[in-house]
Chain A
Amino acid sequence: MKSDFLADMSHEIRTPLNAILGFSEMLLAEGADPLTPRQREDLTTIFHKGQHLLALVNDLLDLARIEAGQVALQRQTVPVRELLIRTLDAFTPRLNERGVAVRVAVEPSALAVSADPRRFEQIVINLVGNAVKHTRTGSLTLRAQPEENFVRLAVEDTGPGIHPDDLPHIFNKFYQARRQAEGMARGTGLGLAITRQLVELHGGRIRVESELGRGSRFEFTLPAAREDGL
């Protein structure tokens, strides 16, 4: 069965990663035998690459489960404004540090969607995380407004934008856009693929607009919560 294979794969990768991350973290934290700067740098690389592998196995597993139809949404009525603000909180220190302004525009303010709150949050974290990673100055804006039986949400940034040649491919697995700023941490290459799958699993759509030098706007829809709460 495929589900067993995925669970086994996860277990078999996590077990050696436990030793790799655990021992490197322990050595980095140990005060008794100080490391030379070079040893510290090398160990830090091992630790960070181990973390990257963990993120990769988590994303791969998530995507494989969604694609195999094994993810069941736990739908409920989720107030949009609260979720957006709560999700933004984790990013606020980094944005404040850079002087990036943050706006949340939800009209009407009581707007709610019918969604799996954990998955809705994951979608927003992925899109906001990308925007934060690329935006050094300017602003980050989250919007939501009703549109027939759906709610249209948008994440807008004033980052460097995405090259027109890259735009049609950025939701593909492992696609790496050509224009990455120096020293930018490489993601797993699966974040946007997962995001698209999650939006579509809810019955919504996602798309992107971008202009080089101006910024990007990711827009997605989720079913609106019905008045009767179902």
Chain B
Amino acid sequence: VKALRTALVVDDDADSRRLLVRLLEARGWRVLEAGDGQAALDYANLARLDLVLLDLRMPGPVDGLEAAALLRQRPEFGCLPIIVVTASPQEANRNRALVAGCSAFLSKPVDLRQLWHEIERLTGEGGR
């Protein structure tokens, strides 16, 4: 029996979070939710993560870009797939996200097929 894989969904918009949680759970992922960057970093101290879906623009001291950069600095998260899902899809943000170490950059509204494609590509496990 394969252990459940764990995804962390980081977004200040509760509906966007719920959408991703529903999608991932339906395909057998265990999902943790964080409403801002600091909460995401707190979770990262507690749990082994196999995937992060990350909003960029969030209130609080740590936004998405900073959270991604801080996660990447830790050796245990050097290869962690971090997929940005943002409602600010400007080219400049894409470049910043890639520089911060994010693995993929998707815009909201998120195309679900594209999301699964990226999850499969980066984790080898998208589900159906």
Contact = CB atoms under 8 A, between A and B. Distances in A.
Interface of A: 7, 10-12, 14-23, 25-26, 29-30, 50, 54
Interface in B98-128: 107-110, 112
Given A18-B16, A18-B108, A26 B87 contact: no
Contact of B108 (A17, A23, A25): A17
A158 B15 CA distance: 47
B88 A20 contact: no
Interface residues of B, number: 18
A11 B109 contact: no
Interface string B1-21: 000000000000101101100
A23 B15 CA distance: 9
Contact of B19 (A14, A22, A30, A54): A22
B107 A14 contact: yes
Given A10-B88, A22-B109, A25-B112, A15 B13 contact: yes
Contacts of B87: 10-12, 14-15, 18
A43 to B, nearest CB: 14
Nearest to A21: B109
Contacts of B110: 18, 22
Nearest to A29: B112
Interface of B: 13, 15-16, 18-19, 22-23, 26, 57, 87-90, 107-110, 112
A21 B112 CA distance: 9
Contacts of A18: 13, 15-16, 19, 87, 108-110
A19 B22 CA distance: 12
A11 B12 CA distance: 13
A12 B87 CA distance: 8
Given A22-B109, A25-B112, 7 more contacts: A11-B87, A14-B109, A15-B16, A15-B87, A18-B108, A19-B18, A22-B112
A10 B26 CA distance: 30
A65 to B, nearest CB: 10
B88 A11 contact: yes
A10 B90 CA distance: 10
Nearest to B107: A14
A21 B22 CA distance: 14
A17 B16 CA distance: 10
A204 B22 CA distance: 50
B96 to A, nearest CB: 14
Contacts of A30: 26
A91 B108 CA distance: 26
Contacts of B19: 18-19, 22-23, 26
Nearest to B22: A26
A19 B88 contact: no
Contacts of A19: 13, 15-16, 18-19
Contacts of A26: 19, 22-23, 112
Contacts of A17: 108-109
Contacts of A29: 112
Nearest to A13: B87
B88 A7 contact: yes
A19 B16 CA distance: 6
Nearest to B13: A15
